[in-house]
Amino acid sequence: MRDAVTSLIKNYDLAGRYFDRNAIDSLKSYFDSGTVRVQAAAAINSNAAALVKQAGLKLYEELPELIRPGGNSYTTRRYAACLRDLDYYLRYATYALVAGNTNVLDERVLQGLRETYNSLGVPIGPTVRGIQILKDLIKEQVAAAGVVNTAFVDEPFDHITRELSEIDI
């Protein structure tokens, strides 16, 4: 797992280059945003279970067919698995948020996930929608914690949804 700093160092090391102005600016931006990243993580951690539960409720309100007989979240076991997955996405997105890098998502979450979901018959569209709902709720939570600009929260959640939604042709 890498963060923004180790990724930057690795890239410059592989190229055999000293840091240039872009690298220094990137490091400065990462360190300047460190406090709000940690503040956002604290806001998420203090209310993670409620955020996941609320995201699930909103998802099923929007897509009630998922919890009806024959729906993918019909039965307590399947419903619980959906919430478990949302919690999993939230935890790893929080790691990526603090790291300022989505590498952990690629390594620990996304490798083979789409194929696994397809093989199990888990619909990707509702999964993506659930992640988007979760992102919106987190942005509200982070804003309520006093973070003025919550745009940085988008990156890990958008990365998950983009990679999960991608279709190979």
Q: Which residues are annotated as a binding site?
A: 72, 77, 82
Structure tokens at 164: 């999960």
Angle at 58 between CA 56 and CA 61, to 5 degrees: 110
| Positions at the binding site for (2R,3E)-phycocyanobilin | 72, 77, 82
Structure tokens at 130: 């659930």
Long-range contacts of 69-72 (CB under 8 A, 24+ apart): 72/121, 72/122, 72/123, 72/126
